[in-house]
Amino acid sequence: MRPELVPCALVLLTACATAPGSTKPPAMASTPAATAGPRTAVPADDSLNAVLWTQRALEHDLVFAAIYRAAGEKLAAALADPTWDALPPGERDGPFDQLPPAVIVDLDETVLDNAPYQALLVRTGDEYAEPSWAEWCRQEAASVLPGALEFARGAVERGVTLFYISNRTVALGPATLANLRKTGFPVTGDHTFLGLGTVVEGCQTTGSEKGCRRRLVGRGHRVLMQFGDQLGDFVDVTLNTPAGREQSLAPYTKWIGERWWVLPNPTYGSWEPAVFGNDWKLSRDHRRQLKIDALRVN
């Protein structure tokens, strides 16, 4: 279902010189755009610029490549230090210094690029919905984000196991693993995909939190690094408000850029509902107004 995203507008700019000494503005040349009559109003969409930046900005690719390159350079030090562990202490069930090494990565907007799905929502005016998202995942069409594949392959060559902890549901596991293999990601076994709904003995999951799944990885591995585009990819957020999110991160700020590697994702995330009370039942206009109210102007 991956749509072909074709540029939808062509802007023609015609420069007209003004005669020396003239005080009149230059006349505009007649173009098809100028004579076609008024354009249909384009509905506002909060995701337009975010998706456009994700797909078209070279800066997006440079940031991803730089983060993964820096992580690769840190990997040797992480492997050499038996006290190096990237799990929050509360998710550790016992000693880890003798365990084999692993890296935990989120999938969507961390190693796999789902911007075409987001672009389709902008084009159609729709919002995220489970059926359309599942349909996209089953197409196995997500591409690789810059730097991710090189890091993953380099880690595996050093004896590191990659675990993919995702909030794609366990039912989407076969399609997701197929997508990963198509794009060349190392998958050492189907058990390395831990989707939403994974049962972890002795651990109770709340909502889509990943803490139990991280704990499961930690029972058999020393986790060297974690990668994600959401705060919840690294630590469970007790209260999803701006203040609550800061509080959840506070003990681990020194881990950023060493044990925890955060990728940019302006298109969606728990940061958005945090400013409108996590109430998705509000109308789009109401949500937009609350987001505008949250902007800082001084």
Return the minimum-mean-pLDDT range out of 14-18, 70-74, 237-241: 14-18
Q: How many other C-beta atoms are found inside a 10 Å radius of the C-beta of residue 284?
A: 13
Compute the distance between CA of residue 135 and CA of residue 155 in angstroms, rounded to an integer: 31
Q: 171: which 2 tokens?
A: 């039912």
Domain boundaries 48-293, corresponding CATH code: 3.40.50.1000
133 burial (CB, 10 Å; 0-12 / 13-18 / 19+) is: middle
Amino acid letter for position 50? A
Question: Which neighbouring-strand residues pair with 262?
Answer: 228
Q: What is the pTM of this model?
A: 0.86
- Interval 135-147: pLDDT, tens: 999 999 999 999 9
Spans of all domains in the chain: 48-293
Mean pLDDT in residue range 259-287: 97
* Distant-in-sequence, close-in-space partners of 212: CB < 8 Å, separation ≥ 6: 198, 200, 203, 204, 205
* DSSP assignment string, 146-161: TTHHHHHHHHHHTTPE
- Interval 78-125: pLDDT, tens: 999 999 999 999 999 999 999 999 999 999 999 999 999 999 999 999
Supply the pLDDT for residue 297. Answer: 96
* DSSP assignment string, 71-137: HHHHHHHHHH-TT---S-GGG--S--TTSPEEEEE--BTTTEE-HHHHHHHHHHT----HHHHHHHH
Compute the distance between CA of residue 90 and CA of residue 246 in angstroms, rounded to an integer: 18
Question: Which neighbouring-strand residues pair with 102?
Answer: 161, 223
Compute the distance between CA of residue 209 and CA of residue 229 in angstroms, rounded to an integer: 14
